[in-house]
Amino acid sequence: MPLSPGPRGAFFEPLGLTFKPEARYLHFVADIRYAQFCPLTRAVEILGERWTLLLLRELVAGPQRFSDLKDRLPGVSSSVLAGRLARLEEKGLIARRELPAPAASTVYELAEAGRALRPVMVELIRWGMRFLGAPCAEERFEPRWMLMGLQAFARRQPTPPCSLRIVIAAKPADVEIYVAGGPGGTEVSALPRAVQACVRAQGFDLLLLANGLIDIGEAIASDRIRVEGDASIVAALPELFDFRPVPEAVPESPSNAARDPASTEETTLENISRNQTQGATN
Least confident of 31-40, 128-137, 159-168, 259-268: 259-268
> Do strands 197-201 and 162-168 pair parallel, antiparallel, or not at all (unpaired)?
parallel
State yes or no: pLDDT of 32 exceeds 70: no
Contact 85, 54 (CB under 8 A): no
Write down all domains in the chain, each with its CATH number in brackets.
18-115 (1.10.10.10), 118-247+263-282 (3.30.1050.10)
Summary mean pLDDT of the chain: 83
Q: Which amino acid is at 68?
A: D
d(CA 271, CA 164): 27
Q: What is the pLDDT of residue 27?
A: 45
Mean pLDDT of 249-266: 47
State yes or no: pLDDT of 24 exceeds 60: no
What are 101-105's contacts with CB under 8 Å, separation 24+? 105/65
Q: Cα 165 vs. chain centroid, distance in angstroms?
A: 19
Contact 126, 153 (CB under 8 A): yes
CA distances from 3 to 16, 18, 44 (A): 17, 18, 20
Strand order in the sheet with 94-98: 64-65, 106-110, 94-98
pLDDT tens-digit series, residues 222-257: 999 999 999 999 999 999 999 887 655 555 545 444
> Please, how many CA atoms are within 13 Å of residue 113, restricted to the half-sphere of its CB?
15
Ramachandran quadrant class, 208 (left: phi over 0; alpha: psi -120 to 50; beta: rest): alpha
pLDDT tens-digit series, residues 92-132: 999 999 988 887 799 999 999 999 999 999 999 999 988 98
State yes or no: pLDDT of 39 exceeds 70: yes
Q: Which residue has the higher pLDDT, 221 or 133?
A: 221
- Give the predicted TM-score (pTM) of the model: 0.75
29, 35, 32: which is closest to 6 by C-alpha?
A: 29
159, 169, 183: which is closest to 233 by C-alpha?
A: 159
Q: What is the pLDDT of residue 232?
A: 94
Q: What is the pLDDT of residue 279?
A: 53
Q: Which amino acid is at 36?
A: Q
φ/ψ of 261, rounded to 5, equals: -55, -30
Q: Which amino acid is at 178?
A: Y
Mean pLDDT of 86-96: 96
Strand order in the sheet with 197-201: 187-189, 175-181, 162-168, 197-201, 225-229
